[in-house]
Amino acid sequence: DIQMTQSPSTLSVSVGDTITITCRASQRINNWLAWYQQKPGNAPKLLIYKASTLETGVTSRFSGSGSGTEFTLTISSLQPDDFATYYCQQGLTFGGGTKVEIK
Amino acid sequence: QVTLRESGPALVKPTQTLTLTCTFSGFSFSISGMGVSWMRQSPGKALEWLALIDWDNDKYYSPSLKTRLTISKDASKNQVVLTMTNMDPADTATYYCARRDKLLFNAFDIWGQGTMVTVSS
């Protein structure tokens, strides 16, 4: 089974920062990788699919890239609404999550 | 508008069987590429994928839970049912169903609000 490893597990940042979250696959995968945002008490929300395609309605401050075994989610100019936990997903496997918290 | 809603018991006893229903609207299983999946999330933990059923009735299960899970669909009722046998306190979690659209490269684009299930005697 493919394992998806996210890093870091926690990010302490400030409003206005630009951050990058990494998701590594245990073996080469196609670019069928998605990113989700989850806020406490809410279901996950799809942000990006096919590694870099922004879901409709998602702000362009979110971007995704990568191929092979390493993928990244970048959030530019972090806003208060962006403080949440982010998950990558490939196939039927989720990463362990990255919590973005206020410094 | 696509919506999904989970329903089921909030409390089950250890060793009992859990039955959860996902009722959806705004899409159909008659469309090639559509699927509905179940995930769960224990308090403070990461998302865990459980099972998926496709438009053509193909079914997929988490390897670690395969022996305890059954997923089925009733396309006429727009429902997907997940059963999990031999429930344990470790299965206490919020259970989500979500649509999987192959056009979105297997991403889960629409999620239900989730239903919290507590396993306790």
**Residue A36 and residue A48: Cα distance in Å, rounded?**
7
Over the stretch A68-80, which tens digit does the pLDDT of each residue have?
Answer: 999 999 999 999 9
DSSP at A81: G
How high is the pLDDT of residue B1? 94
HSE, side-chain direction, 13 A CA sphere, residue B1: 2
Q: Which residue in the block uniquely carries the two structure tokens 């998926």?
A: B52
Tokens of B16: 């009992």
* The dihedral formed by the CA atoms of A86, B89, B58 and A91, expressed in degrees to the nearest 10: 20
A94-98: average pLDDT: 97
Among chain B residues, the shortest Cα distance to A53 is held by B104
Instruction: Establish if B5 touches chain A: CB-CB under 8 angstroms.
Output: no
- State mean pLDDT over B1-18: 98
pLDDT, tens only, A22-61: 999 999 988 999 999 999 999 999 999 999 999 999 999 9
B5 and B112 in contact (C-beta within 8 Å)?
yes
Q: Backbone dihedral region of A20: left (phi > 0), alpha (psi from -120 to 50 degrees) or beta?
A: beta
CB-nearest partner of A32 from B47, B106, B109: B106
Residue among B47, B104, B113 whose CB faces A49 most closely: B104
Q: Does residue B74 surpass a pLDDT of 90?
A: yes
Smallest CA–CA distance from A89 into chain B, residue: B107
pLDDT digits (tens, 9 = 90+) for B27-73: 988 888 999 999 999 999 999 999 999 999 999 999 999 999 999 99
**Which residues contact residue A6 at a Cβ distance below 8 angstroms, ignoring those fewer than 6 apart?**
A21, A22, A23, A24, A86, A87, A88, A95, A96, A97, A98
Average per-residue pLDDT for chain A: 96
| B residues 40-99 lying closer than 8 A (beta carbon) to A | 46-49, 52, 60, 62-63, 96, 98
pLDDT digits over B76-110, tens only?
999 999 999 999 999 999 999 999 988 999 999 99
* Pick from A43, A53, A97: CB nearest B46: A97
